[in-house]
């Protein structure tokens, strides 16, 4: 686990220092929460992560789930963990008081999930998936569905899942084949369907840590329109309640547990539905609206995927930092030959690797909490269309930057350990494996890139990018208010402005390309554009944090540890602007000069 002071301090700093143009004070958009009460929530979550989730970290990886007699067996600690999370109200935290929740704001929930995922990513996903499924039922399900399924889900007794993928229909959900046939009986069966099909890659899709598993499944009602317009959403439990309230088999069969590179503590399963013509699903909301409903869970899940990647990168960074402070090896190049070896953190290249890791982890954390702030403002005032556009624009970055850069960050953590990092003597090799799935979960990097370039940037004639530019300009203006003190904020602000100008110029180049060669050429290198865009957005976040850190340092009577913390923030910000932001230039050149060579490659050229 990360050092308590550092993790709590960073969380508090990034949450409480979110600046905004929307004139909503932090205690206001966080409802009844104040910085003091928020810190208490952090402390309670940290204690739970340290005492309940983290002790299972290695064991869940070493002894992954197994399919035994049709049931998936998971680590023995999963059931008591979910019972604790349910009894103590963590799963229901964001729900209204009528469901024994606390109306917890999104930004605070993201922080809690960050703490849990830092402690043990595999363990943290069980409750997160249940919460997402329960939210869908609350948002779109009938009163009967809510009263039947929400209490056991929120109590941690039942597991919720999201079942989308099929063997022949992955990201292309319009091609899914799972069928729903209406029951032709009396009024009591209204909204009930027989379900037939197969789903794969279902996180926590079955396990013995709960009494029941409730799948939120996308299927096509018999006779529905083709494509995405014919998709409906169903609740399909492993065991369905009968008229007397007893649980009976619902013809949901686990076909396999996938063996994974990492993230091994949570089972990923395949299921078959309706083999015995007795699988009943319950329609959620209206027919053919399923994909729109599911996107509520998917969009939130994209932020959660980004936060999970951020958490793993953070845990790996702190492991590397602790090791570099204690591992003694080598001497400065200017030291006498007989000088004593020094801790490797004294070597410049090691410090560079640590700065890179911290810049990725804390920059990503800041961006995701920025998105959480927009969610909270929208929850309080749905009419804030600017916030909606900004959230839409930034979600692909919040999902992808920590996922892609987290792979490089955890790799750098391994490098800090040297040969030990490649072995299971230390946790960073597991962090590296656990990290890899995040670029795939909830839409691959390529899908996120095409969504950004092909949809988000052109919404309302590009207004979202204009709003983001205003946010960045506000951060630049705030940075210029400090007295010049050789800390480089004014130069950072200028560099951010140049980065935005470069991005706009690149967009113009791509726009001309779209007019000349069509949309396929426009989107050919979308992933490179997303990478470029992500660097700029994280630079904005680091300028914001540098501004907050400098404001704190300008206060009087700071404690020494606080002074070191804020000076460290400024140092990492300077690193990001000096080492990472310039990478935009190379990406811009490639985007302008690539000639979309991938479009003209022949399959036969990929030969031995």
Half-sphere exposure of 447 (CA within 13 A, CB side): 12
Query: 163 pairs with which residues across the strands?
Result: 217
Domain boundaries, the chain: 452-597
Q: What is the pLDDT of residue 28?
A: 57
Alpha carbon distance 440, 311 (integer Å): 17
Position 563 scores a pLDDT of 92
Where are the strands (E) in 183-238, listed by range?
A: 192-203, 212-221, 231-237
Query: Are the CB atoms for 409 and 316 separated by under 8 Å?
Result: yes
Q: In the structure encoding, which two tokens stand for residue 430, read together?
A: 């597991």
Give dist(CA 395, CA 544) in Å, integer: 19
Residue appearing with tokens 């609740």: 235
Q: What's the pLDDT score for residue 24?
A: 41
CA angle 467/313/547 to nearest 5° reads: 45
- Active site positions, annotated: 442
Phi (first) and psi of residue 218, to 5 degrees: -90, 130
Q: Which residue has the tokens 């919720």?
A: 160
Q: How far apart are CA 410 and CA 350, in angstroms?
A: 14
Name which of 309, 315, 285, 280 is nearest 297 in CA terms.
Answer: 285
Q: pTM, whole model, 2 decimals?
A: 0.94
10-residue mean pLDDT series, the chain (608 residues): 55 67 48 78 94 96 95 97 97 93 91 95 96 95 96 97 85 82 73 94 96 96 87 96 90 96 97 96 94 80 94 97 95 90 95 98 96 90 91 96 98 97 95 97 93 94 95 92 74 96 95 91 94 98 93 87 92 97 97 83 84
Q: Is the dihedral of CA 262, 395, 38, 572 positive or negative?
A: positive
**CB atoms closer than 10 angstroms to residue 505:** 12
Q: Please tell me the predicted confidence (pLDDT) of residue 175.
A: 79
* Amino acid 556: pLDDT: 80
């Amino acid at each position: 686990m990360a050092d308590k002071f550092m993790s709590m301090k960073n969380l508090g700093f990034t949450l409480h220092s979110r600046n905004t143009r929307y004139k909503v004070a932090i205690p206001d958009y966080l409802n009844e929460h104040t910085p003091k009460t928020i810190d208490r929530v952090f402390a309670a979550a940290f204690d739970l992560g340290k005492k309940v989730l983290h002790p299972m970290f290695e064991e869940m990886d070493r002894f992954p789930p197994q399919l035994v007699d049709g049931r998936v067996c998971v680590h023995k600690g999963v059931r008591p963990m979910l019972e604790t999370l349910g009894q103590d109200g963590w799963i229901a935290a964001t729900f209204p008081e009528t469901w024994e929740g606390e109306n917890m704001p999104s930004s605070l929930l993201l922080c809690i999930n960050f703490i849990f995922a830092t402690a043990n990513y595999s363990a943290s996903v069980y409750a997160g998936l249940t919460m997402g499924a329960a939210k869908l039922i609350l948002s779109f399900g009938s009163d009967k569905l809510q009263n039947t399924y929400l209490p056991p889900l929120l109590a941690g007794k039942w597991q919720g899942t999201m079942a989308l993928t099929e063997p022949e229909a992955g990201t292309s959900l319009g091609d899914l084949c799972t069928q729903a046939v209406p029951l032709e009986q009396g009024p009591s069966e209204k909204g009930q369907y027989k379900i037939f099909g197969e789903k794969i890659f279902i996180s926590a899709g079955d396990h013995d840590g709960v009494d029941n598993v409730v799948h939120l499944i996308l299927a096509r009602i018999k006779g529905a329109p083709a494509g995405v317009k014919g998709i409906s959403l169903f609740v399909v439990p492993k065991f369905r309640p009968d008229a007397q309230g007893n649980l009976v088999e619902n013809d949901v069969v686990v076909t396999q547990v996938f063996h994974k590179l990492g993230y091994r503590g949570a089972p990923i399963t395949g299921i078959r539905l309706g083999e015995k013509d007795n699988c009943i699903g319950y329609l959620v909301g209206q027919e053919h609206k399923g994909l729109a409903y599911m996107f509520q869970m998917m969009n939130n899940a994209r932020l959660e995927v980004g936060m999970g990647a951020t958490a793993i990168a953070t845990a790996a960074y702190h492991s590397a930092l602790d090791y570099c402070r204690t591992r003694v090896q080598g001497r400065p190049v200017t030291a006498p030959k007989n000088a004593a070896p020094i801790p490797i953190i004294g070597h410049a290249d090691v410090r560079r690797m640590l700065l890179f890791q911290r810049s990725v982890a804390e920059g990503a954390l800041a961006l995701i909490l920025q998105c959480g702030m927009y969610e909270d403002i929208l929850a309080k005032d749905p009419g804030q269309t600017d916030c909606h556009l900004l959230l839409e624009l930034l979600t692909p970055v919040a999902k992808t930057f920590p996922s892609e850069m987290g792979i490089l960050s955890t790799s750098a953590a391994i490098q800090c350990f040297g040969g030990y990092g490649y072995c299971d003597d230390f946790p960073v090799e597991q962090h590296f494996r656990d990290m890899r799935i995040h670029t795939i979960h909830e839409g691959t990097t390529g899908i996120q890139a095409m969504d950004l370039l092909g949809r988000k940037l052109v919404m309302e004639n590009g207004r979202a990018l204009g709003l983001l530019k205003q946010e960045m300009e506000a951060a630049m203006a705030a940075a210029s208010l400090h007295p010049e003190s050789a800390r480089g904020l004014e130069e950072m602000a200028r560099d951010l402005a140049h980065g935005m100008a470069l991005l706009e110029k690149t967009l113009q180049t791509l726009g001309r390309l779209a007019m000349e060669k069509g949309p396929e050429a426009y989107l050919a290198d979308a992933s490179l554009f997303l990478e470029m865009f992500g660097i700029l957005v994280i630079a904005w976040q680091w300028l914001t944090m540098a501004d907050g850190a400098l404001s704190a340092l300008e206060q009087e009577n700071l404690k020494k540890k606080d002074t070191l913390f804020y000076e460290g923030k400024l140092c990492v910000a300077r690193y990001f602007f000096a080492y990472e932001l310039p990478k935009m230039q190379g990406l811009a050149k490639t985007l302008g000069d690539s000639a979309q060579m991938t479009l003209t490659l022949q399959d036969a050229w990929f030969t031995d």
